[in-house]
Amino acid sequence: MTSVFLRFPQGRAKALTLSYDDGVEQDMRLVEILNRYGLKCTFNLNSGLYAPEGTVYPKGRIHRRMTEKQVTETFLNSGHEIACHTLNHSFLDSLPPALAAMEILKDRENLERQFGTIVRGMAYPYGTYNDSVVETAKSCGIVYARTVESTNSFSLPADWLRLKPTCHHDSKELMPLARKFAEDKVTRDPYLFYLWGHSYEFEANSNWSVIEEFARYMGNRDDVWYATNIEIYDYIDDFNRLQFSVDGTRVKNPSARALWFEADGRIYEIAPGSTMEIG
C-alpha cells in the first residue's frame, strides 16, 4: 500500500460547511435558504445577549438579535449545529483566563440547557484569540474554534482550535472558489469548503443574492457531503483513529461509525468496530 486518503461518507472526496455568528433575525431567512438547497451550518450564539421577549427594533436597525424563544424556534431540530460565541461577545484575548473561561462555560451551559444537547464548538468573537485563549477554550471542553482568517483553500484544518475558514461570503473569490471546488477532480487529500459570515450583512449590503447564488450552485450535489462543523470534526477524529497493520493489509475501525478511505486508488468502507483485509 502506497497511499491512504480520507474520504467522507459514501466515499465522497468533498465536504461543505458554513458558520454564521450572533443569532440575529436574518438567520431565519438564512436557514430557509440553506434548507432549500440541502446545506448545513453551525450557528454561533451569545446566550447572554438575547433580546428581551417582545422587543420591537427601530426602523433601519440592521443588527437585530433574536429573543431566546426565536432562537429556539429557529434552530431546535433544524439539522443545524449550535455552538458557543461566548456569553457576551467578549474580546477573549483581553480577559484574564478565569473570566474568559466563564464567558465560554456559561454560554455553553446555557445553550446545552436550551437545546438539550452537548456543545463542543465555538467561534472567537471579533476573531480575536491568543495562545492563552486557545488553551482556555480547550480546558472548557471546546474541540474546535473558528477564526476569521481565510485560507482561500480547501485544506482540512491543521489546528482545530485555530480553525481557518475558506473565505467570508463577501470575498471576491467566493464564486471562483465555488466553481473550482465543484469542478476539480480530487485525487489525493479531500476538499473542505468552509464559508463564514454574519447573516445581517446580507441585509446591510443588500446582497442576499450572494448566498442565494452560492447555495443554488453548491447545493444538492451527489459528490458533496453537507455537514455541520462538529459532524466534520467528529468524522475526521474517528478516521484518525483507524489502526493499520504494519504491512498495510489489515485495518481496524475502533469507532462507532462507518468510515471511508481510499487506498491505492480504491475506495473502502469499514464498518464500526470491525477489522477488514485490504489490498
232-248: per-residue pLDDT in tens? 999 999 999 999 999 99
pLDDT at residue 238 in the model: 98
- Banded model confidence at residue 279, pLDDT cuts 50, 70, 90: confident
Task: Give the architecture (CATH level 2) of 14-238.
Answer: Alpha-Beta Barrel (3.20)
Return mean pLDDT, the chain. Answer: 98
Contact 39, 219 (CB under 8 A): yes
pLDDT digits (tens, 9 = 90+) for 205-226: 999 999 999 999 999 999 999 9
Residue range 173-198: mean pLDDT, rounded: 98
Question: Which of 167, 253, 242 lies closest to 211 in space, CA to CA?
Answer: 167
pLDDT at residue 1 in the model: 81
- β-pair partners for 44: 21, 83
pLDDT digits (tens, 9 = 90+) for 36-79: 999 999 999 999 999 999 999 999 999 999 999 999 999 999 99
Q: How far apart are CA 270 and CA 119, in angstroms?
A: 28
In the chain, which residues fall in CATH 3.20.20.370?
A: 14-238
Cell 451551559, located at residue: 109
Cell 456569553, located at residue: 87
User: What DSSP letter does each residue of the chain carry, written as one string?
Assistant: ---EEEEBGGGBSEEEEEEEES-BTHHHHHHHHHHHHT--EEEEE-GGGPBPTT--PPTT----BPBHHHHHHHHTTSS-EEEE--SS---GGGS-HHHHHHHHHHHHHHHHHHHTS---EEE-GGG---HHHHHHHHHTT--EEE-S---SS-PPPS-GGGB--SEETT-TTHHHHHHHHHHPPP-SSPEEEEEEE-THHHHHTT-HHHHHHHHHHHSS-TTEEE--HHHHHHHHHHHTT-EE-TTSSEEE--SSS-EEEEETTEEEEE-TT-EEE--
Q: How far apart are CA 35 and CA 41, in angstroms?
A: 10
- Banded model confidence at residue 90, pLDDT cuts 50, 70, 90: very high
pLDDT at residue 218 in the model: 98
pLDDT at residue 144 in the model: 98
